[in-house]
Amino acid sequence: MLTTDTLFVLAILCLVIYASEFFASTRWGKPFGAAIMVILLGAILANTGVIPTASNAIPLYSAIFKYIAPIAIFYLVLGVNLRKIKQAGWPMLILFLLGSAATVIGVVVSYMLVEPQNVLNEYAGPIGGMIAGTYTGGSINFNAVALHYKVNEAGVLYAGTVAVDNVFTTIWMLITLAIPKVMQSIWPGKDIVAKGADKESIEVINKNHIDYRDLIILVPLGIAAYLISQAISALWPALPSILVITTIGLILAQFERFHNLIGSRAVGLYLVYLFLVVIGAFCEFKAIGELGEIGITLLIFVGLIVLIHGVIIMAIGRLMFSDWKMIAIASQANVGGGTTAMALAESFDREELIVPAILIGTLGSAMGTYIGFMVAGLLS
């Protein structure tokens, strides 16, 4: 089948990025931005059958999640100065922990109101734990809980839960992109970190020119960082490889030779957009519609969880901190993970928040499984 051919699908994904960037540069598309457009176009093409969806995903998608996303993080981290974490680290960490608590509250309250056990039976509690885990740290935590409670063996239910999770992850990405603009007009705030801070470093990061001499260093450097991170993680399984590759990037970024590889941001951002197109492709509406009552229950259950999370982190977060962009990034780190939070920081032109976004995302990966099992145990 043509749409499952790896090169064909890759070409479509690249064309989506081109089309999104072009649209975002127009008068009509500028308010949306390229990040929103790549997700939307990816979802439209997947749901119209042009490219594969989550239920018939091809190995290319797995490769993008496994290889491209971590290397994208590495490239973007190369341009970031660690001094900025001191300015934004604690607020981001507090907001992230607030968002994690809000997710747990959302699961418990939604479970009490929706009573999914009446439809999902014995799987209701474990699914609550899966959602709590994934909206703290990502799909690793989601699958860890699913495997333990054997939810993955209930094929249709598992596929439906994945589809619902992907739909709300995509929706929340779009919402968090809009939060600063919308909420600023309702409840004004201001950036905690001055955008002019460390101006020379930011100017270096913002250069998109790719020098051939930089590229011949960046490509093997990214691959080497990935391989080293995998090897270290294999030796110490408790240490997430994504945290290792981030650390490698941060260490190298403190040396002028690597920090001045100005093409790293352009390459990293392109790879992030490639990842976001697949996130959009995983937003599969058909799989939900075929589940009937189960699908409706899952939609209401998960939707209410995300809504409660959003209300809590926006209300309390705004009372504690005035920075709507930081609140949105922290929330995205909960629901979408460090990679999408990093993409959000890029979209908001908040380079000083890239590293904190990645770090709280990796913290979520470490916490998520424990939180998932705790919630599943509480509800079961």
pLDDT band for position 157 (cuts 50, 70, 90): confident
Q: Judge whether residue 197 has pLDDT over 70.
A: no
pLDDT class of 262 with cuts at 50, 70, 90: confident
Least confident of 21-35, 81-95, 214-228, 314-328: 81-95
pLDDT at 195 over 50: no
Which pLDDT band holds residue 201 (cuts at 50, 70, 90)? very low
pLDDT of 266 over the 80 cut: yes
pLDDT at 83 over 70: no
pLDDT (mean) for 212-239: 90
Higher-confidence position of 144 and 328: 328
Confidence of residue 56 (pLDDT cuts 50, 70, 90): confident
* pLDDT at position 204: 40
Region of poorest pLDDT, from 73-82, 126-135, 332-341: 73-82
Least confident of 39-43, 83-87, 92-96, 301-305: 83-87
* SS3 sequence of 146-210: HHHCCHHHCHHHHHHHHHHHHHHHHHHHHHHHHHHHHHHHHCCCCCCCCCCCCHHHHHHHHCCCC
More confident residue, 337 or 198: 337
Determine the pLDDT at residue 288. Answer: 64
**pLDDT higher at 321 or 238:** 321
- End-to-end Cα separation, the chain, in angstroms: 43
Residue 173 tokens read as: 């990405």
Maximum C-alpha span of the chain: 62
Nearest to 35 by CA among 24, 47, 51, 46: 24
What are the tens digits of pLDDT across the range 243-259?
A: 788 889 888 988 878 87
Whole-number Å distance between alpha carbons of 333 and 92: 10
Tell me: pLDDT of 45 over 60: yes
**Residue-averaged pLDDT of the chain:** 85
Rounded CA separation 150/80 (Å): 42
On the question of pLDDT at 172 being above 70, the answer is yes
Residue 220 has pLDDT above 50, yes or no: yes
User: 179 pLDDT band (50/70/90 cuts)?
Assistant: very high
Angle at CA 148, nearest 5°, toward 142 and 154?
Answer: 80
At residue 380, the pLDDT reads 82
pLDDT for 370 beyond 50? yes
pLDDT of residue 86: 55
Q: pLDDT category, 297, cuts 50, 70, 90? A: very high
Among residues of the chain, what percentage have pLDDT more than 70? Answer: 90
Q: Is the pTM of this model over 0.85?
A: no
Q: Who has greater pLDDT, 269 or 97?
A: 97
The rounded distance, in Å, linking the Cα atoms of 375 and 380 is 8
Helix axes 263-281, 155-186, angle to 10 degrees: 120
Task: Record the tokens describing residue 66, joined without a space.
Answer: 């496994």
As a whole number, mean pLDDT of residues 126-143 equals 89
352 versus 60: the higher-pLDDT residue is 60
Q: Distance (Å, rounded) from C-alpha 368 to C-alpha 380? A: 18
CB 312 within 8 A of CB 98: yes
The 10s digit of each residue's pLDDT in 113-131 is 999 999 999 999 999 999 9
